[in-house]
Chains A and B, each alone.
Chain A
């Protein structure tokens, strides 16, 4: 039989439109192929700095997201009781009038009675600007329940952190160590980097209780006990210091290790830096033996300098570090068992790190000049790199663990050097270059400044005059003084409790707070529906914007339906969380590559409208009319500082300027014409040593990242932390409440330390963790028709020890209990798992009625959430106080501190707890999905064999 004739060159599409993915937070460039105006295929953009052509499963499944039956269709007004899902469609005009009617009196009289929190928002520089204009102090996005410990730990230690702030030097590193769950932050670049390492034969070490994902390809796997990463890291620090295997030259030049500290325990400045009359921190200059400014020309800071001045002893940070980390408490023999390791393994790891960093050091033949005026002929590199994200962050000791990891990197001299960790513009950026948080409310006027920022001591906290928290989430209060991303996970709980005060309108965007984005999901549902004696809701009004029929929709009074990511404008801005790479600053846009076929509007455009209706400063012209017609108008015309706008590319009247420049009316079109992104490459001389490199700092100023060079030293000793400790010790006028003193003294240590993240309890012997699968991580929206076939069920994975001990067999179910509650769920055995740890995929479980899924969908019958076992508060201590289940420094939600007990049980009909179905505002999805654009490109019946 002759072979059929094939059309080997079908046209893949009529047109390709390039935009930015939004299937997770990675923000890759995508080519959207369109036929007859409809998207038919999505692939990676080869020219894009983030993904260079590749694309993950989520990205390719974007088609199913754009066609999802769960897309909301029009604005909705609640008509049934909250939680029922009973709505009536309303016009946008009616919806916006309703919202304006609720919000206008608050803006005029009590702006703080609006709590505006924006979830997985990628437009935070805009939404925060809106919230600031409204005048409420109550704004944040989802960082507080995600990875704020990583961000804050990094910024407070080295002026940048992993992911958006920096990346391993994938092309030069020889040893890469990955701590904890990090499958998404960021998705494709880490996979591409791992591919590069593997191709070169570089070594990958995975530290994770669960051997899944990247740990599956790691050369060496360390199945650590959850919450003990910091202990392992500080044991490595102990070994390296005791062996003298630390980069003394690096530490003396680029870190605060040689800075002089007040060493007199009786002094009110004990533990603060010695400063000259102008406030400059001081070191002992090895050349002269005398004190000198840290940044003076030609100074060689002495790591072991000492100085008596005004009757006080001053010694270096390095001396304090020696005292702390040579303590036998950090010896491998002392910590190994707790970590689930052998002491010899820790010692071997320390030796491997030292050998790679020092014996296998690399050099790049490139001269550069530092801030002290010294020119270096070569760039010496320590080819050891690290990455971590939520795994080590989401513990109550996460902040200090993240700091410990950065301490380790810095001791090895492996930050901003070839082969190590590299910052991405606009980072590096010292704490002092960030704004301070603002909370001063003036009715009818904007807040006195940006909501979120970096505090440097008690004076910067957001407290009312009576000392109580100024913010609804208690961010920047004594409970969590350095809560740089806010505490979204506490908003509903605090609003319900009226602690610190009640709110009138809860306004949420892209956050599934009645389900997988909250701890204690069942309790949150009760809080959202709780009523006062008169029948009114305790949280009076809830406005929610989402593109999809999520579980949260049913709990809102007013729904403002958002578009999908292919139907909207966005800017991924250098003012916000950009897509830069270590070699280049970069930003990007989204634009409507298709028009919505429903009565929905991009949320940011709605805020432009709502802002004008409310008369918010910055959203109305002088004549009171609407300033920005929509978000695209804002992106083009808004200037944060003169010449600095949301987008850095093609500024100036003719698009001739980069970074700084006048508004360019055709800027968005130029982005579109250039693949929807912009890059500004860093000069060769400026590629490494960025915080100290004159060439980099000059380039950063020229590019508009900041207005003057920002040279700084890495903060091994964190003076802001020490200032909070001093307050807890009784110094200063702003004093913590007594019940928090001991905790602040112990845990806000200016040097990284480890403490147990939760109390040991024999009743709940096992650790329970969650992670999102790679094919879904950080992907919100619908339950995607293609991806749900990969991950539609989520058993609780048990290690061999528990499996045997409890007599489990395939198909069994378990009752899992925590101090807070109990769930009954299917189990499965897994061998590559820490023996005290169980885990499951997060957010597979769905509530019946949500996401346009059938009520019999496995996600809704067998799927489950661990959230029901995790309370936003710690168990009551009998003091009448509400203790948040959060990191005491940043307030990060301590998801991974969950402890459980497990017993085999009879299988119930469905996973427990079980919640009644919500009425779906969008109906059910179709039975069969069979998307193909039709006959124009190939033969009419789509038969192979025809040309």
Chain B
């Protein structure tokens, strides 16, 4: 079994705005592209053009419909990747030390060289955020683009995860949750971001901003919601028009 390092001051992660996410999958595919070419073995696609294509993805968008008693159903697009938990059960369960949490910044990674593909970490993860690569036989997971965020070959503005860089609506924010003054920490405070499944005790670093309240317009119209009428028929309207034009 593997030990977690002492809690780091720096806690890198993502805050994802579910009020904005339109479910376009841009983050899913930019992640797939970067991480196929970079960290570790390529993300394979088995039976890629066949009956049952199964590929490795480090980030997926799930769409849920929420049915309400007092309003129309709502759709929530829910992007999900590793939450880089502070008490990551996927690390402590690992028999070889392959699954580890970086002492410096809290990113949870898999050392593919040491991974035996036993799959225990995927079982231990309550979020289903790990996927076994079917071709390589090693466990794959979000690296928070550890090979981008410190990458001296990238411009400073590009030293962010691929998913954050590509997101067209700006629903994904990357930063240090250990720093209360960071932009992400402030966003978390302002919008009262939530942990995913806090009862699991995993203390996820990644946070979610909840959708704002919707469909308020369906409330019964109040007095101010109906425009006062100046004319019901054309002649009256044209008389009003003449008067109104004089005032212009």
Contact = CB atoms under 8 A, between A and B. Distances in A.
17 contacts: A8-B147, A10-B147, A10-B151, A40-B37, A43-B162, A55-B166, A217-B20, A220-B215, A220-B218, A243-B228, A347-B227, A785-B48, A853-B49, A926-B48, A929-B44, A929-B48, A944-B40
A857 interface: yes
A350 B74 CA distance: 24
Counting contact residues on chain B (CB < 8 A from A), the size range is 35 or more
A41 B233 contact: no
Contact of A42 (B25, B33, B53): B33
Contact of A219 (B45, B53, B165, B216): B216
Contacts of A440: none
A933 B234 CA distance: 72
A947 to B, nearest CB: 12
B112 interface: yes
Instruction: Determine which residue in A46, A55, A188, A199 has the highest number of CB atoms from chain B within 10 A of its CB, and name it.
Output: A55
Contacts of B112: 943-945
Contacts of B231: 242, 244, 326
A97 interface: no
A461 interface: no
Contact of B42 (A6, A775, A856, A930): A930
Contact of A928 (B45, B215, B242): B45
Interface in A1-40: 1, 3-4, 6-12, 33, 40
Interface stretch (A154-162, A571-579, A788-796): A788-796
A354 B230 CA distance: 14
Interface stretch (A98-106, A131-139, A207-215, A473-481): A207-215
A303 B157 CA distance: 54
A41 B34 contact: yes
A242 B234 CA distance: 9
B226 A351 contact: yes
Interface of B is mostly: loop
Contacts of A927: 46-48, 50
Given A8-B146, A195-B169, A211-B73, A304 B242 contact: yes
Contacts of A930: 42, 44-45, 135
A293 to B, nearest CB: 20
A260 B98 CA distance: 81
Interface of A: 1, 3-4, 6-12, 33, 40-44, 46, 51, 53-61, 63, 69, 187-188, 191-192, 194-196, 198-199, 205, 211-221, 223, 239-245, 248-249, 252, 286, 302-304, 318-319, 322-323, 326, 344-345, 347-352, 354, 774-775, 783, 785-790, 792, 830-832, 851-854, 856-858, 861, 924-933, 938, 942-945
Nearest to B169: A195
A304 B235 CA distance: 11
Contacts of B167: 54
Contacts of B165: 43-44, 53-54
A326 B19 contact: no
B232 A242 contact: yes
B113 A944 contact: yes
A354 B168 CA distance: 31
A243 B38 contact: no
B92 to A, nearest CB: 13
Contacts of A304: 238, 241-242, 245
A241 B97 CA distance: 72
B227 A350 contact: yes
B37 A933 contact: yes
* Residue of A188, A219, A856, A924 with highest tally of chain B CB at under 10 A: A219
A928 B135 contact: yes
B117 interface: no
B220 interface: yes
Contact of B45 (A57, A347, A789, A854): A789
Nearest to B67: A831
Contacts of A42: 33
Given A40-B37, A857-B51, A354 B212 contact: no
A243 B171 contact: no
Given A61-B32, A194-B22, 13 more contacts: A10-B151, A60-B26, A196-B170, A213-B22, A215-B75, A219-B215, A286-B245, A348-B225, A351-B226, A788-B53, A789-B45, A927-B46, A938-B38
A54 B50 contact: no
B72 interface: yes
Contacts of B162: 43
A926 B74 contact: no
B102 interface: yes
B207 interface: no
A1 B100 contact: yes
A344 B219 CA distance: 10
B74 A211 contact: yes
B241 to A, nearest CB: 5
B214 A218 contact: yes
Contacts of A933: 37
The 6 closest A-B pairs by CB, nearest first: A925-B49, A831-B73, A243-B227, A191-B168, A216-B75, A195-B169
Contact of B153 (A11, A59, A789): A11
Contacts, number: 318
A217 B19 contact: yes
A832 B227 contact: no
B245 A8 contact: no
A322 B230 contact: no
Contact of A787 (B29, B151, B169): B29
A323 B234 contact: yes
Given A6-B147, A348-B225, A1 B97 contact: yes
Nearest to B54: A789
A828 B232 CA distance: 46
B49 A56 contact: no
B168 A51 contact: yes
B37 A932 contact: yes
A216 B45 contact: no
A786 B55 contact: yes
Given A54-B166, A832-B72, A932 B42 contact: yes
Interface string B91-125: 00000010010110000011111100000000000
B199 interface: no
A851 B48 CA distance: 12
B26 A56 contact: yes
A248 B2 contact: no
Contacts of B185: none
A598 to B, nearest CB: 18
A318 B231 CA distance: 14
Given A195-B170, A217-B22, A928-B45, A242 B212 contact: no
Nearest to B236: A326
Q: Which of B34, B166, B167 has the most CB of A within 10 A?
A: B166
A56 B22 CA distance: 11
Contacts of B30: 43, 55, 57, 60
Contacts of A286: 245
B225 A351 contact: yes
B82 interface: no
B36 interface: yes
Contacts of A69: 49
Contact of B65 (A6, A215, A830): A830
A785 B229 contact: no
A4 B20 contact: no
A787 B170 CA distance: 21
A928 B44 CA distance: 7
Nearest to B96: A1
A932 B76 CA distance: 34
Q: Which of B73, B165, B168, B241 has most A Cβ within 10 Å?
A: B168
Contact of A790 (B28, B44, B230): B28
A667 B32 CA distance: 36
Given A322-B234, A344-B221, A930-B135, A219 B214 contact: yes
Contacts of B47: 854, 927-928
A80 B162 CA distance: 48
Interface in B36-89: 36-42, 44-51, 53-55, 57, 63, 65, 67, 72-77
A854 B111 contact: no
